[in-house]
């Protein structure tokens, strides 16, 4: 379904439930699995830091999956979230949907309620992964706050990393690569590299700048003890994870 053939009115957002519930709105490709695991940062002490060269960023950029359909989905979902916040009279209209752990039934109920309440804000008919809707809501709220937290000024310690991953939303097992949830990558980017994460969210979905920013963040994720291998990675899903984490970190920075 292309942008030319889609209607611009009457969408009821529905979510793809990870807990066996009915499916819902704006369509994205099914999550794909990686054959390459990450090192689990919870099992590491002091992280190993590297001075990444540009060629490593290019290496990851080639492994990224970015297509117009998923980019369009994210743009439409971000438009919905921004509209819902405006129509609802501010952040309180959408903030409650982010108070639940990702991938849980309570999150699904909250996001589905949000989608139905502000259905008039949805630009097209389709389906959307709840992780993408959650990320779009977080991005809209983060842009409203306009707060970029400060990164750690010294080498991250084991204690810092433990705290970083301890606050991740629990329960989301859909968007992960083997033993590492996508949310860990988002937390790493937002807390260790907030300026670069902000640059990612300021780029247009589907743009070369978005892809380059994603590649650079992933290449530098070793700062958090994450050691990615060559793998296909959906740019929109990663952006959603970074947005969710950056919004959370902006709350702590207030």
Whether 189 and 242 have beta carbons less than 8 Å apart is answered as yes
Residue 228 domain-assigned (yes or no): yes
Distance CA 93, CA 74 (A): 20
Q: How confident is the model at residue 62 (pLDDT cuts 50, 70, 90)?
A: low
Q: How confident is the model at residue 28 (pLDDT cuts 50, 70, 90)?
A: very low
Q: Please tell me which residue, 53 or 91, carries the higher pLDDT value.
A: 91
Residue 123 domain-assigned (yes or no): yes
Distance CA 229, CA 43 (A): 18
- The residues pairing with 65 across neighbouring beta strands, listed in sequence order, are 234
Distance CA 41, CA 239 (A): 21
Give yes or no for residue 69 having a pLDDT over 90.
no
Domain that holds residue 91: 41-252
Q: How many domains does the chain have?
A: 1
Q: Where are the beta strands (DSSP E) in the chain?
A: 64-65, 176-177, 180-181, 233-234
Residue 21 domain-assigned (yes or no): no
Distance CA 58, CA 138 (A): 28
Give yes or no for residue 15 having a pLDDT over 60.
no
Q: How confident is the model at residue 68 (pLDDT cuts 50, 70, 90)?
A: confident
Region 58-74 average pLDDT: 73
Using CA of residue 108, residue 110, residue 115, residue 116, what is the dihedral sign? positive
Region 91-115 average pLDDT: 83
Residue 22 domain-assigned (yes or no): no
Half-sphere exposure of 236 (CA within 13 A, CB side): 29
Residue 10 domain-assigned (yes or no): no
Distance CA 109, CA 88 (A): 18
- Beta strands 180-181 and 176-177 are antiparallel
Residue 103 domain-assigned (yes or no): yes
Question: Model pTM?
Answer: 0.69
Give yes or no for residue 31 having a pLDDT over 80.
no
Residue 29 domain-assigned (yes or no): no
- The residues pairing with 128 across neighbouring beta strands, listed in sequence order, are 15
pLDDT at 24: 37
DSSP state of 27: -
DSSP state of 149: P
């Amino acid at each position: 379904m292309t942008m030319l053939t889609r209607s611009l009115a009457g969408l009821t957002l529905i979510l793809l439930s990870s807990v066996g519930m009915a499916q819902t709105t704006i369509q994205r490709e099914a999550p794909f699995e990686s054959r390459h695991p990450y090192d689990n940062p919870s099992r590491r002490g002091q992280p190993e830091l590297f001075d990444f060269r540009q060629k490593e960023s290019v290496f990851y950029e080639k492994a990224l999956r970015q297509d117009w359909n998923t980019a369009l989905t994210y743009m439409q979902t971000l438009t919905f979230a921004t509209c819902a916040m405006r129509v609802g009279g501010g952040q309180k209209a959408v903030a409650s949907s982010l108070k639940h752990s990702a991938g849980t039934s309570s999150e699904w109920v909250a996001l589905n309620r949000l989608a139905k309440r502000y259905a008039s804000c949805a630009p097209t008919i389709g389906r959307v992964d709840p992780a993408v809707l959650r990320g779009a809501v977080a991005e809209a709220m983060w842009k409203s706050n306009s707060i970029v937290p400060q990164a750690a000024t010294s080498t991250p310690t084991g204690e810092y990393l433990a705290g970083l991953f301890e606050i991740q939303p629990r329960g989301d097992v859909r968007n992960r690569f083997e033993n590492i949830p996508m949310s860990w990558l988002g937390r790493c980017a937002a807390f260790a590299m907030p300026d670069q994460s902000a640059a990612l969210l300021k780029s247009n979905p589907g743009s070369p700048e978005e892809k380059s920013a994603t590649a650079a963040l992933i290449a530098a994720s070793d700062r958090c003890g994450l050691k990615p291998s060559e793998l296909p990675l959906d740019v929109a899903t990663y952006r959603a994870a970074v947005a969710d984490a950056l919004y959370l970190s902006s709350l702590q920075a207030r």
